Amino acid sequence: MEIEKEGKVSDSVILDDIPVHLLPLAADLGGSSTRTLEQKAEGRKRAECFVEEHRGQSVMIFTDGSVNDEYSGVGSCAAIVIPLETFTKVKKRSEVFSVLAHSTEAEVCGIAVALDLAIQFSTRQELD
């Protein structure tokens, strides 16, 4: 039996014709690895203000995913689901994987984790 190494998958293959929109909350604050403490604090403040401004209007979901270029296939993702009801606790989950070849795969895993959290939450709410 021969094992073949899987090549990296391009973003266009994974996302195809799906438009991806970003919220430019911290676009003017430099790169994530080069931000100063003040810029990080400002970015956090902007994100918190955004969440508070939109809380109760709709369910909000935030995701992130990344792979470590130093260790082939090691990656992780995280998701936060903020329910519509302002009195309901925020749901969070993160996962680590050893089979991801590209950061876009990790981002998609984060979206899948968020959808799973949202489904679990809505199912429990309907049972109450």
| C-alpha span between 67 and 92 (Å, rounded) | 20
What is the structure's pLDDT at 74?
85
Which residue ranges make up each domain of the chain?
24-54, 57-128
All residues at 6 or more sequence positions from 39 whose CB lies less than 8 Å from its CB, including other chains: 26, 29, 30
pLDDT above 50 for 128: no
What is the structure's pLDDT at 89?
87
Tokens of 115: 């959808």
Q: If you write DSSP's letter for every residue of 66-118 in order, what string do you get?
A: EE-TTSTT-EEEEEEEE-SSTTSPPEEEEEEES---SHHHHHHHHHHHHHHHH
Residue range 97-122: mean pLDDT, rounded? 86
Query: Residue 18 is which amino acid?
Result: I
List the 91-97 sheet strands across, edge first. 60-67, 75-82, 91-97
Taking only the tens place, the pLDDT of each residue in 55-106 is: 888 888 999 998 887 777 788 999 999 988 878 888 999 999 887 778 888 8
What is the structure's pLDDT at 79?
94
Residue range 10-14: mean pLDDT, rounded? 65
Query: Residue 99 is which amino acid?
Result: V
Q: Exposed, middle or buried, 33 (CB in 10 Å: 0-12/13-18/19+)?
A: exposed
Residue range 102-111: mean pLDDT, rounded? 88
pLDDT above 80 for 113: yes
Taking only the tens place, the pLDDT of each residue in 24-39 is: 787 888 887 888 999 9
Among 54, 60, 50, CA closest to 25: 50
